[in-house]
Amino acid sequence: MLWVDQYRPRTLDDLHYHKGLSARLKSLASSGDFPHMLFYGPSGAGKKTRISCTLRQLFGPGVEKLKIDQRVFLSPSKRKLEINLVQSNYHIEITPSEAGNYDRVVIQELLKEIAQTQQVDLNAKQKFKVVIINEADSLSRDAQAALRRTMEKYMSNLRIILCANSTSRLIAPIKSRCLLMRVAAPSEEDMMDVLQNVAKRVGFDLPPDAADKIVDDAEGNMRKAILVLEALKMQSPNLNGPLSIAKPDWETYCHKVADLIIGEQSPARIMEVRSKFYELLSHCIPPTVILKTVAERVVDKVDESLKADIMHWAAFYEVRMRNGNKKIFHLEAWVVKVMSLYKHFFYGIDMSDFD
């Protein structure tokens, strides 16, 4: 078992950082009036860990007896939608965005079915079931509207816990019906503390230099930091000497794409970059992650006066990409815009001259 799973905190008291948030969750779980909740914050900050610890506080250790199931839903056009569920006797965890544009069907059918059934365990501390919805900020507007109606109608038997990176794409009626819990990225000191704790439990001393390097590379992502720690320990048992932290293949590939954009600005190069984007998308790298990674690399390489414009257009096309269907169009449009800015800066040439 990976260390990130093996040494994951099981209770709210075990959590190493955001102690005030843990105390608040403990108080809510102990009160008789547990609300719908929305956990939001950057990836790797510990949202899911806090949710699982809160569930344990609500229902006891039985909530950790999980089984993975697959449910089939039918779309209005009779197309079969297969969705994976993780469930215990007390809760169900789903990712409706797996169904794409049909996420509304999953939300309506599953939540209605759960809400109309009573709690199986008559000795349970709480009489309601909990539904955890991952990637809530990826839900379509129709699915969010269906979720809002369900939250109103079945409050007595059901509590919803939403997990999202950002609240910006969630409709106001959903946010107003949830208690918002912001899980901020851990500070460098918090990450050092957790890494030292994991090292101690495994049974080795973590040199401060190695810990510093891991924390710098993780950039606030606690999950990534623990995975890197385990990988480095396998490579170099003493963690001494120069340590090289390997970048994921997709990240290296994104950096190559950025170098292509800066290296030449031409219609032929746009076509080459498009094929690279298709390859990344075919390996299930989210388009927003591709755009962010390539943009950050481009910004590192260009003149100071171009940085703000490049990030402005990256944000502009990210919003369009979230609202549209053809992700490649928006990625490509951003590349053309960057090339245009770059050409104009150096030679006073606009890419529209190539049309």
pLDDT per residue, tens digit, the chain (355 aa), is: 788 888 899 999 999 899 999 999 999 988 878 889 999 999 889 999 999 999 999 888 888 888 988 888 888 888 888 888 888 888 999 988 877 778 888 888 888 888 777 655 555 667 788 999 998 988 888 889 988 888 877 777 888 999 999 888 899 999 999 999 999 999 999 999 999 999 999 888 888 888 888 898 888 899 999 998 888 888 877 777 677 777 788 888 999 999 999 998 899 999 999 999 999 988 888 888 899 999 999 999 888 888 899 999 999 998 888 777 788 999 999 999 999 988 887 766 554 554 4
pLDDT of residue 39: 95
96 vs 107: CA distance, rounded Å: 7
pLDDT of residue 119: 57
Nearest alpha-carbon partner for 142 in 115, 108, 92: 108
DSSP string computed for 193-255? HHHHHHHHHHT----HHHHHHHHHHHTT-HHHHHHHHHHHHHH-TT--S----PPPHHHHHHH
pLDDT of residue 97: 80
C-alpha dist (Å) from residue 292 to 116, 299, 337 = 42, 10, 15
Amino acid at position 80, single letter = K
Q: Please, are residues 170 and 97 in contact by the beta-carbon 8 Å criterion?
A: no
45 vs 48: CA distance, rounded Å: 9
194 vs 220: CA distance, rounded Å: 12
DSSP H helical ranges for 283-326: 287-301, 304-323
CATH architecture for residues 3-182: 3-Layer(aba) Sandwich (3.40)
Report pTM.
0.80
Q: Please, are residues 227 and 28 in contact by the beta-carbon 8 Å criterion?
A: no
* CATH code assigned to 249-347: 1.20.272.10
pLDDT of residue 162: 94
pLDDT of residue 348: 64
The secondary structure of residue 237, as a DSSP letter, is T
pLDDT of residue 122: 52
